[in-house]
Amino acid sequence: MADPSDKLLPQQLRASDQDRERIAEVLRAAAADGRLDLDEVDERLSAVYAARTYADLEPLVRDLPSPSTAPVPMVGTPRPLEPAHRGWAVAVLSGTNRRGPWVPPTVLTCLAFWGGGTVDLREARFRHGEMKIRIFALMGGFKVIVPDSAEVHVTGVGLMGGFADNATRGGRYNGPRITVTGFTFWGGAQVIRKSRKRKHRPEDDDD
């Protein structure tokens, strides 16, 4: 007969992949809110995926507000993601740039007509770690700069123009997932990888 004293406490139970992913989503949401900086998120996400028990996971969200401070769920389905947040970047006979620390939408549509723009994601705080960029350019173009840690998929098509896909490849296990798609005609879309910037400087504006 088993000794009752041998029964494990809830915190000592083994965490599942679903549990780890749930905590990772909490951390990404905290980063999107500006509660954690990018270095803190990287450090904590590394600890999340190395965690073995609920006791390993709980301290990683202890200092974050509700729902992060709720006990680590042991059963049930993952917390549903909020609806996709959509945004626009438009360059018509002009230019547009988005860079520095910012929270991009989960779906960003970029339109260029005789103009162009840059979307720099190196300091971005991603919603749920994922983003889709849709580029449509006519006699114009967009440049997308992604952090080197990102998993990137480029699937757009260019007609009498270009849709560079050499940035397509996997990233770090805790890096964001970025999909770039769309269509260009007499225009172009360029997706390039660069190391994440630690601090935005005016001289970086020409990158």
Tokens of 206: 């020409």
Return mean pLDDT, the chain.
Answer: 79
Q: Single out the residue of 54, 106, 47, 104 nearest to residue 75, CA to CA.
A: 54
Residue 207 reports pLDDT greater than 90:
no
* Mean pLDDT of the 2-16 span: 65
pLDDT confidence of residue 54: 85
Query: Higher confidence at residue 56 or residue 6?
Result: 56
Instruction: Mention every residue, 6+ apart, whose C-beta is less than 8 A from residue 89.
Output: 96, 98, 108, 109, 110, 111, 117, 119, 142
pLDDT in tens, 98-109: 988 888 889 999
Kindly indicate the confidence band of residue 28, based on its pLDDT and cuts at 50, 70 and 90: confident
pLDDT confidence of residue 198: 56
* Mean pLDDT of the 187-202 span: 74
pLDDT in tens, 73-83: 443 434 444 45
- How far, in Å, CA of 131 to CA of 105, rounded? 7
Three-state secondary structure call for residue 21: helix
**Inter-residue contact 145 to 100 (CB < 8 Å):** no
Helix (H) or strand (E) holding 50: helix 38-50
- Which residue type, as a one-letter code, is found at position 100? G
Kindly indicate the confidence band of residue 189, based on its pLDDT and cuts at 50, 70 and 90: very high
Global pTM reads: 0.58
pLDDT in tens, 145-176: 999 889 999 988 888 878 877 788 887 767 88
The three-state (H, E, C) secondary structure of 26-49, written as one string: HHHHHHHCCCCCHHHHHHHHHHHH
Q: Single out the residue of 23, 18, 129 nearest to residue 77, CA to CA.
A: 18
Kindly indicate the confidence band of residue 71, based on its pLDDT and cuts at 50, 70 and 90: very low
Three-state secondary structure call for residue 66: coil
